[in-house]
Amino acid sequence: MKNLILALLISVPCLTMAQGLRGEKMEARKVAWLTTKLDLSAEDAKIFWPIYNDYVREQSTLRKERTQKMISFRKLKEIEDLDDEEIQTLILNDFNFRQRDLNIERKYYNKFKSSLPIKTVGKFYRAQEAFKKEILQQYRAAMPASTN
């Protein structure tokens, strides 16, 4: 219980960075999920949550930048209206954003790894994937069945 309270107190700055109420709710669910799955000691929680909050903040900043610039290749509707150079630029920009995201992942993996036991780090990555899977399953279950 102490770990949960500590985690929630430490994670508040992370929650304020989320976009809108929906983002805040999702991040709060994720924090609760991680708290349960990681079962951190008080000492490890003091180390983990500030690193995690910085990690989420950097990822959020990158995603906001990507959305603001609207350079995602997938968002374009009419490729035919662009010249070859514009298409190439969009593709390369998308690669650059994905590389920057990967760089953030590696940076924080190294921070987690140098500060926490590797088993805890492994639990974190496994818990993140399990959370994504759980959310996707809930989303699919809530979708109305399509009629053919």
pLDDT tens, 63-79?
Answer: 888 887 765 555 566 77
Instruction: Please state whether the predicted TM-score (pTM) of the whole model is above 0.85.
Output: no
| Rounded average pLDDT over 131-145 | 86
What is the span of the domain harbouring residue 31? 2-129
Domain assignment present for 144: no
Domain assignment present for 142: no
Whole-number pLDDT of residue 61: 94
Domain assignment present for 18: yes
Closest C-alpha to 74, from 54, 101, 97, 44: 97
Domain assignment present for 112: yes
Domain assignment present for 139: no
Q: List, for residues 84-127, the tens digit of each pLDDT value.
A: 898 888 888 889 999 999 999 999 999 999 999 999 999 999 99
| Distance linking the first and last C-alpha atoms of the chain | 49
Domain assignment present for 48: yes
Domain count along the chain: 1
Whole-number pLDDT of residue 25: 87
Whole-number pLDDT of residue 146: 59
Closest C-alpha to 59, from 14, 122, 94, 113: 14
